[in-house]
Structure 1
């Protein structure tokens, strides 16, 4: 029997995100509450300012660019407190937002712009050249590449998003009516094992339901009032807003529940600690490599992190050792959650009280979720037995953009999403994720597709054949990519040539795809009769090498 969530099924409002966030009757906090705060510049947005700025931008999209329902606006930027207003301004005008990783190369960005059909691109000034180059490749006009953030274009070529406004004086621009169950809110890109990222189509209902699910999962432990500063709970945001984890758990949850979101453009350990101390941050969404640093890094001892009541780790499995190291050192509990781009993202979280009772578990099912573990023959397995996790609920995506085959493979006719993750549940309904069927490498929460790296590496003049696998780096508490390479002119390649290949690849990809696990030269790549790379044999080889290295020590 499939497992059902034990949470009550509160009705999901039949509205799009704008209606859900800005036309609600049950908002638990005032319009002048600060929701998004930049600790570096001290710039902020209140709820009222988010709403008014978003409406201005939405009207501007319609007035200046004739924005139509379903038009895609791409973002190519680190975290910024302007991201929410740009997002909901796009939704107000009936558009779809497609965020891209600011570390993408021109070609990687151009792929997403082309695949999503983006009509315009919002970036920040330091990224303007790559943004323009990618836009040019796909035919987006230069005047549709605009900037957000604190810096303006000194040449005045790139407009600031606040200049995209209805200057005609016309009152004819109205909010576009949307169908929440059908119309898309976001197109997020998730790496596929075939190489190119896939556009995950998320509807307004997907994100509305997941925002409600996350709130239920925190079970009243977070409040918009009280706290160390009297401003309610404060959440620290360093997880990227271009990733669904940051997009829903941070941007949407904070404005829905009235928490101040303290926004960092990217992770820096000392800044992370200082900002917690100075702003009395009480809650943070984290990933295992950050948990590792908090447990071990000496710089942490310089700061007072006692305001933090709980951290929630996601994006990759968390070990008992990491949880205990942080609690023993800082007395900060760390609970774990689970989700995927295709589920908007969160499907499970540990209840606050269980953080130390079920360490290693991703928790229990959030509201509206039905889940089961399935064997290779698509038969359900009982509690305690291992299988692939399948999930059903209103947060499950609509499908992959322009990819009916991928969609058919991922979604069953009765609405289950096959996660590709392997694990089990115990008799008390706690779920565990132990491995992945998919071959994706998870580096600090980023997904790296081995096939994509193999496709680039094979074009190197000294590479005859190649396979990329994940190896686990204990020091960083994350998987890293390693390449096994058959060189064109025989074995005996030196460390110098390995480094040359690593550096050659790093110029062609985003930083998270770097071969941090190194390059190993081999005489052949193990393959099946049908030509598929037998990665498990290479993983076994990597483990043997690891054991051998330790034995020598």
Structure 2
């Protein structure tokens, strides 16, 4: 048995309310906590604290009697990023309720699953999404009059409209005199219910506790990824994803870092915000790194204040990192680019490349965080525990154990049992290698044939701006063949011979079993989630449709 320990010293892990933890620091009340990028509107820490307690009061006393939320009840947020997000989220937490965060791109059918599965009582909703929610309520047999009572418009400038309360109606009506306590064993109560995307079946609700989150924030402190009073963070990742809500909202409040909120990512807006607000740091995903390599906005705005970005949620190839640093250096920005790793089920971060050595450890996801353990497993026993670990320098499935591992999947004990062993190890499903210095590299998914490194190789092609690779079934060989979907820098004006040219080009750079025998397909864009993960299922559906069309011919 080989169990890896963090090179960092263990840190003290408090058992208390998440709200109390993030507001406990010595940071000055007048320090700007959040700034809305489009408008410049700012919330100080004292304003944020007061407004969250007003939301907590409103949840208990202002909502209609049937929708009022108490400790343990679930409240949904269904909105793109805005200045209202930290107010509402931390208000729900102060109230002792659980927040379930819904993807703002959901259809009514997708929203229905999360709403019903989570048992949400009320939805804080962006005004533009009301129609989606009303359709969802209609699908489950709730009248429109009743449905409107279950909604609160999540916009700081909006009051009640058409029978729906506005956030402004909850504010100024009173303030909770104290937050709900979660000391001792009470810290094991659920605070967040994010839904994992999953590769099969419906998304599963991940129960993340107060203790999970205060532990995660505590073990991030020694890494010093940001510095209070010095760094300005740009938040463009969606807050409904655990990466966004923890690393770009809770983390910043806890450590006193001013954060500029963008409603969504757009290269022009991203670069403009860096210039306007003197942004120094941003936690992002690989598609944003690609945008910085190719988009002309990088040349249009002053990017010199940006000194550090950290990428997560999906693999980032070393060649893309090098290209991004070179592009930004051309406009006078000297930047370090690091990576991190984690999952919704681990709250989310387990590994980070230290900021000081980011440019020296390109291609790895970094060191294991304090208070966590890891192992690389190559064989399991029938009871789900590990039978054999990988030897040093060899790959194995990464298992993680520690205080940040989720409580379990909501309403799904079978899935929980399958994911977490009796001795507490969470099986990530990712294949990793850990070097002699403790740095981890993620090299594959356990059940995927095609390695992401093939995508990284494709992105080295001077005319490819994005790429994704899937396996397509070849019945004649009883195996999968690699197929690439690529975006040409000139879009539809790409030469007709380009797919064949790419197939020949890559054969000079990879082993034979990675040749693109499944073909190369030109696409306008690679489908990705807001968190930057390639939506391979959509590409597999596309491949299946193409195959069916050929069969009919």
Q: TM-score, normalised on structure 1? A: 0.78
CA distance 1:275–1:523, shift in 2 (3 Å): closer
Query: What is the alpha-carbon distance in structure 1 between the residues aligned to residue 394 and residue 307 of structure 2?
Result: 34
Structure 2 counterparts to residues 295-334 of structure 1, below 5 A: 295-330=293-328, 331-334=334-337
Please state if 1:224 is matched with 2:228.
Answer: yes
CA distance 1:109–1:398, shift in 2 (3 Å): same
What corresponds to 2:343 in structure 1?
340
CA contact (8 A) 2:199 2:537 kept: no
CA distance 1:387–1:145, shift in 2 (3 Å): same
Deviations 1:473-524 (A, max 9, x none): 55499xxxxxxxxxxxxxxxxxxxxx9xx99xxxxxxx96894674453379
- SS of structure 2 residue aligned to 1:128: helix
What corresponds to 1:259 in structure 2?
257
State the Cα distance separating 1:113 from its structure 2 match: 0.1
Query: What is the alpha-carbon distance in structure 2 between the residues aligned to residue 46 and residue 234 of structure 1?
Result: 14
Structure 2 counterparts to residues 169-188 of structure 1, below 5 A: 174-178=178-182, 179-188=185-194
What corresponds to 1:91 in structure 2?
93
Query: What is the alpha-carbon distance in structure 1 between the residues aligned to residue 338 and residue 432 of structure 2?
Result: 18
Query: What is the alpha-carbon distance in structure 1 between the residues aligned to residue 193 and residue 323 of structure 2?
Result: 37
What corresponds to 1:102 in structure 2?
104
Structure 2 counterparts to residues 351-430 of structure 1, below 5 A: 351-377=354-380, 378=386, 379-430=388-439
What corresponds to 1:207 in structure 2?
213
What corresponds to 1:293 in structure 2?
291
State the Cα distance separating 1:84 from its structure 2 match: 1.1
CA contact (8 A) 1:289 1:476 kept: no
What corresponds to 1:273 in structure 2?
271
Bigger CA drift: 206-215 or 104-113? 206-215
CA contact (8 A) 1:135 1:142 kept: no
Deviations 1:108-144 (A, max 9, x none): 0011000000000011111111122223444474212
CA distance 1:408–1:298, shift in 2 (3 Å): same
CA distance 1:334–1:316, shift in 2 (3 Å): same
Query: What is the alpha-carbon distance in structure 1 between the residues aligned to residue 234 and residue 13 of structure 2?
Result: 27
What corresponds to 2:165 in structure 1?
159
- SS of structure 2 residue aligned to 1:397: coil
- Alignment size in residue pairs: 465
Cα RMSD over matched residues?
3.3
Please state if 1:71 is matched with 2:73.
Answer: yes
Deviations 1:182-232 (A, max 9, x none): 211100000223320000000001111111222322x2x63222xxxxxx3
CA distance 1:215–1:164, shift in 2 (3 Å): same
Structure 2 counterparts to residues 226-245 of structure 1, below 5 A: 232-245=230-243
CA distance 1:380–1:514, shift in 2 (3 Å): closer
CA distance 1:119–1:516, shift in 2 (3 Å): same
Query: What is the alpha-carbon distance in structure 2 between the residues aligned to residue 5 and residue 52 of structure 1?
Result: 38
Bigger CA drift: 178-187 or 355-364? 178-187
- SS of structure 1 residue aligned to 2:53: helix
- SS of structure 1 residue aligned to 2:187: coil
Please state if 1:437 is matched with 2:446.
Answer: yes
CA contact (8 A) 1:323 1:333 kept: no
Query: What is the alpha-carbon distance in structure 2 between the residues aligned to residue 358 and residue 380 of structure 1?
Result: 25
What corresponds to 1:522 in structure 2?
547
Structure 2 counterparts to residues 185-196 of structure 1, below 5 A: 185-196=191-202
CA distance 1:73–1:88, shift in 2 (3 Å): same
State the Cα distance separating 1:339 from its structure 2 match: 0.6
CA distance 1:416–1:524, shift in 2 (3 Å): farther
Query: What is the alpha-carbon distance in structure 2 between the residues aligned to residue 469 and residue 90 of structure 1?
Result: 48
What corresponds to 1:135 in structure 2?
137
What corresponds to 1:30 in structure 2?
28
Structure 2 residues not aligned, in runs of 5+: 329-333, 381-385, 456-467, 471-478, 490-522, 528-533
- SS of structure 1 residue aligned to 2:165: coil
What corresponds to 1:2 in structure 2?
3
Query: What is the alpha-carbon distance in structure 1 between the residues aligned to residue 113 and residue 201 of structure 2?
Result: 12
CA distance 1:435–1:512, shift in 2 (3 Å): closer
CA distance 1:470–1:70, shift in 2 (3 Å): farther
